[in-house]
Chain A
Amino acid sequence: MGISRDAVLKGFSAGGYIIDAQMATAVALMDSLQRPLLLEGDAGVGKTEVAKSLSKMLDCDLIRLQCYEGLDAHSAVYEWNYQRQLLAIKVRENDDLSAAEKEQHIFDRDFLLERPLLQSISQDQRPVLLIDEIDRADEEFEAYLMEVLSDYQISVPELGTIRAKTVPLVILTSNGTRELSDALRRRCLYHYVDYPDEAKELRIVNARLPEIDQILAGQIVRFVQALRKEDLRKTPGIAETLDWAAALVGIGVSHLEGEAEAVHETLLCLLKTREDQEQMPIEVVERLLGKVA
């Protein structure tokens, strides 16, 4: 079952995710070449959303593995349920079973806790596997992940090798806190997710907040676009734009002009560090508003 580029374009739009042709091609290739897709870009540009939208479009499960420093195979692949194993050993202590039989019992699949990676290859229906912020995991884990992603099989010493029932659609995201290995990069399709341009962001706002006033939406988007050009510690992403738009609608602002105060007060939706907020006193807000409203 191939996913065509046009199907992706249509499916994502129906799900409320505004996708460009380049990204749609990448998603389609991911299916036809059976390669993982690596998405890079700043926080808040909608990398994770791609996986969510894809699973929505295909109506399949989304399995998410959040990476962090120190993530190891036990929390990513599988773990034996030790508590149950200990109990089982105790319960059967006085049974007349041989040691081998007892062992077989406690190393049954019932005692295996499936973590995201194992889970994703043992589904009947092909899931979307989201490996979020792979750059936060250690190099060792990255190498292990490579192995899983190229063979789609996992070996559990006590059980043997578990082969993939279905090959998941894998999306990896990275914020670039650490340089990823060339091997992993080569294996993956690549897409750099940038901040959207004005037209695209406007479409996103409209898709997510269908009731919003058109003039207000335009002003909001232009303001955020202007704000991104300022020298900020943390550039606001799309999620921030949407939050801010919702906040403005919520407090009943219908146009931005003359509302510098309301804008300034709601800037906390957009600016998430103290330095950035200090850098945006009401005068600067007025100047920016003058440009966009």
Chain B
Amino acid sequence: MTGLTATPFLDASGEPSFVRQMNGFVGLLRENGFVVGIREQLDAMDVLRVMKWSDQRQLRAAWRTLLCTRLADWQGFDDLFDAWWLRLGLKSRARISGMSNRASKRKTLQDLGDNGGQWKVDHVEQDDGEGQASDSPNRSEGASVSESLEAMDMRHVHDPEQLEKAGLIAEKLARKMVHRLARRDRATRRGHRLDLRKVIRRSSGSGGMPMRLFYRRRAPKPLRLVMLMDASGSMNQYGAFFLRFMRGALDNFRQADAFVFHTRLVHIGEVMRERNTEKAIERLSLMTTGWSGGTRIGESLKNFNRHYAKRTVHGRTVVMILSDGYDTSPPEMLNTELARLKKRAKRLVWLNPMMAWTGYEPTAKGMEAALPHIDLLAPAHNLDSLAALEPYLARL
């Protein structure tokens, strides 16, 4: 309670030094994933007209409710407030780049590749992720980076910049799928109840006599997507890429959830939605100790069926399993668990990145056990193969 009055700009609610301080504070919030617009900042300063600067508790409460937009903000606000206004120092809250937060998504993504030179950032925004005019030093082939990237096996993409690009495109792809699916919903809206609004509108042609009737039907329940990703050693090369795709789908599908499995099953849907980058990474790594080890697909699915399936899988759900099918639990187990899951879901899709390898036959024991139950077995080694899924989903 004492710190605030000791700050040097005590009485200067309109003075430049205060404005500068305020800008800094809002900047700090934005860096930590807060969504704060100019209006919000102005309102925050406006609050000082009716509240005393010294009444820190009330001011803090007011700013908290005004500047926070989600649970993560709500929980982190006090620390940031203390750090900035009471000079308690930013313990571990300084932001790190990596997976993005929405406020500065592109920037952070690019940062990974090259410590974030400013012109690079602008460059990426201009070409909007399409890679039309990329002149980056790493690019040697004649076609645009995105074209070649889409066909490239993600196993062979090592350049961080290209990985970022692929990640961006994967996210975009997920977003595009959603839009296409949403449009289909509305186009089929015809059916049981009279649409009186339309009947009357169209009756003007026949002198107000409703000659033609129009109907409407409730839009079909939106498709739900549940993704289960194999994070074992054999899938290592694709892990980051699929994570990005899953993140895009989670952000944009009306209903989606995500799980990761290796020797056990981990629910990561909530964490992937976390906007605070640092927290997301921290929680993700906490939850996923043991990644890139062996795989127990059967056991993980059993766990999924027992604890999560009821809540997450319904008749309009597509369950998407991303795995190479190398399983260390008995194949019979995988067989029964898949059969169980199949009963609950609309479709079972198995994406296997190894299918694209020349000479690959789905002979892994796990794969053999799975084949009778899955509706679609498709390759998923590059962006093109992910994009090819969309028409399939749209038909459902």
Of B68, B75, B251, the most chain A CB neighbours within 10 A belong to: B68
B69 and A179 contacting across the interface, CB-CB below 8 Å: no
What 1/0 mask marks residues of chain A from 248 to 259 whose CB sits below 8 Å from any chain B CB?
Answer: 000000000000
Q: Tell me, yes or no, whether A191 is within 8 Å of chain B by CB.
A: yes
A182 neighbours in B (Cβ, 8 Å): 35, 69, 102
**Chain B CB within 10 Å — which of A35, A37, A80, A189 has the most?**
A189
Complex contact B65–A189 (CB within 8 A): yes
- Secondary structure of the B side of the interface? helix
Contact status A82-B196, CB under 8 Å: yes
CB neighbours (8 Å) of B255 from chain A are: 177-178
Whether a CB of chain B sits under 8 angstroms from the CB of A1 is: no
Interface size on B, residues (CB 8 A): 38
Once the chains bind, are B65 and A86 in contact (CB under 8 Å)? no
Contact flag A22-B64 (CB < 8 Å), given A5-B58, A182-B35: yes
Docked CA distance A85–B251 (Å): 44
Query: Which chain B residues (42-77) contact chain A, with CB distance < 8 Å?
Result: 43, 46-47, 50, 57-58, 61-62, 64-66, 68-71, 73-75
**B216-253: which have CB < 8 Å to A?**
218-219, 221-222, 251
Contact B65 A25 (CB under 8 A): yes
Check A186/B66 contact, CB under 8 A, given A26-B61, A70-B218: no
A177 to chain B, nearest CB (A): 8
Q: Is the CB of A86 within 8 A of B210?
A: yes
Complex CA gap A144/B199 in Å reads 24
Q: Give A1-58 interface residues, CB cut-off 8 Å to B.
A: 5, 21-22, 25-26, 29, 32-33, 35, 37-38, 40
A110 CB to nearest B CB, Å:
16
**Alpha-carbon separation in the docked complex, A191 to B74 (Å):** 8
Residue of A nearest to B198 (CB): A82
- Report how far A20 CA is from B75 CA in the complex, Å: 16
* Interchain nearest-CB distance for B71 vs A (Å): 5
Which residues, 58 to 84 on A, are CB-close (under 8 Å) to B?
69-70, 74, 79-80, 82-83
Contact A86 B68 (CB under 8 A): no
B121 contacts the other chain (CB 8 A) = no
Chain B nearest Cβ from A99, distance in angstroms: 9
Given contacts A25-B65, A70-B219, A178-B254, contact A186 B197 (CB under 8 A): no
- Closest Cβ of chain A: how far from B35's Cβ, in Å? 5
Asked if A185 lies at the interface with its beta carbon under 8 angstroms from chain B, I say: yes
B24 interface residue, CB < 8 Å from A? no
> B152-195: which have CB < 8 Å to A?
none
CB distance from B73 to the nearest CB of A (A): 7
- Bound-state CA distance A21–B55 (Å) is 13
Q: A179 to B66, Cβ gap below 8 A?
A: no
Cβ contact within 8 Å between A40 and B58? no
Inter-subunit contact B61/A25 (CB<8 Å): yes
Chain B, residue nearest A139 (CB): B254
| B-side contacts of A69, CB under 8 Å | 221-222
With most chain B CB atoms within 10 A of its CB, the pick from A37, A82, A233 is A82
CB pair A82–B200 under 8 Å, yes or no, is: yes
Q: Is B273 located at the chain interface by the 8 A CB criterion?
A: yes
A32 engages B50 (CB within 8 Å): yes
Using Cβ atoms and an 8 Å threshold, which residues of chain B touch A188? 69
- The answer, yes or no, to whether B361 is at the interface (CB within 8 Å) is no
Known: A86-B200, A182-B102. A33 touches B43 (CB 8 A): yes
> Which residues from B are CB-within-8-Å of A177?
255
Q: Does A288 contact B (CB under 8 A)?
A: no
Contact A190 B65 (CB under 8 A): yes
Q: Which of A32, A86, A185 contacts B69 (CB 8 A)?
A: A185
- Chain B residues near A89 (CB-CB < 8 A): 208
Least CB distance, B102 to chain A, in whole angstroms? 6
Q: Identify the closest chain B residue to A37 (Cβ).
A: B65
The answer to whether B27 has its CB under 8 Å from any CB of chain A is no
In the complex, the answer to whether B62 meets A80 with C-beta atoms within 8 Å is no
The listed residue with most A CB atoms (<10 A of its CB), out of B208, B222, B255, is B208
- A75 to nearest B CB, angstroms? 12
Task: Judge if B127 is at the interface, Cβ distance under 8 Å.
Answer: no
Inter-subunit contact A74/B197 (CB<8 Å): yes
Of chain B, the residue at the smallest CB distance from A41 is: B71
Find chain B residues with CB under 8 A from A185 CB. 35, 69-70
- Give the complex CA separation of A32 and B43 in angstroms: 10
* Cα–Cα, bound, A271→B219 (Å): 33
Residues of A within 8 A of B102 (CB): 182
* Residue contact B218 to A29, C-beta cutoff 8 Å: no
- Contact assessment for B66 and A29 in the assembled complex, using a CB-CB cutoff below 8 Å: yes
Given the interface pairs A40-B71, A190-B69, A192-B71, the reply to whether A25 lies near B35 with Cβ below 8 Å is: no
CB distance from B72 to the nearest CB of A (A): 10
Known contacts A178-B254, A179-B251: does B66 contact A189 (CB below 8 Å)?
yes
A177–B269 alpha-carbon span in the complex (Å) = 12
User: Which residue of A40, A79, A83, A178 contacts B70 across the interface (Cβ within 8 Å)?
Assistant: A40
Residues of chain B contacted by A38 (CB below 8 angstroms): 69
A33 touches B61 (CB 8 A): no
User: What is the minimal beta-carbon distance from A146 to any residue of chain B, in angstroms?
Assistant: 13
CA A182 – CA B74 in complex, angstroms?
15
Q: Of all chain A residues, which has the CB nearest B34?
A: A186
Contacts of B222 in A (CB 8 A): 69
Known contacts A21-B57, A74-B197, A186-B40; is-contact A33 B74 (Cβ 8 Å):
no
Using known A-B contacts A33-B66, A179-B251, determine if residue A21 contacts B73 with beta carbons closer than 8 Å: no
Q: Are A190 and B68 in contact (CB-based, < 8 A)?
A: yes
At the interface, yes or no: B287 with Cβ under 8 Å from chain A?
no
Instruction: Assess whether B69 is in contact with A186, with CB atoms less than 8 Å apart.
Output: yes
Which residues of chain A are within 8 angstroms of B37 by Cβ–Cβ distance?
Answer: 186
**What are 14 A-B interface contacts by the 8 Å CB criterion?**
A5-B58, A26-B65, A29-B66, A40-B70, A82-B199, A139-B254, A178-B255, A182-B69, A186-B37, A186-B40, A188-B69, A189-B65, A190-B74, A192-B74
Which 10 pairs of residues, A with B, have the shortest CB-CB distance? A185-B69, A82-B196, A25-B61, A26-B65, A192-B74, A190-B68, A22-B61, A182-B35, A189-B65, A186-B35
- The interface of chain B, by Cβ under 8 A from chain A, is 35-37, 40, 43, 46-47, 50, 57-58, 61-62, 64-66, 68-71, 73-75, 102, 196-197, 199-200, 208, 210, 218-219, 221-222, 251, 254-255, 273, 311
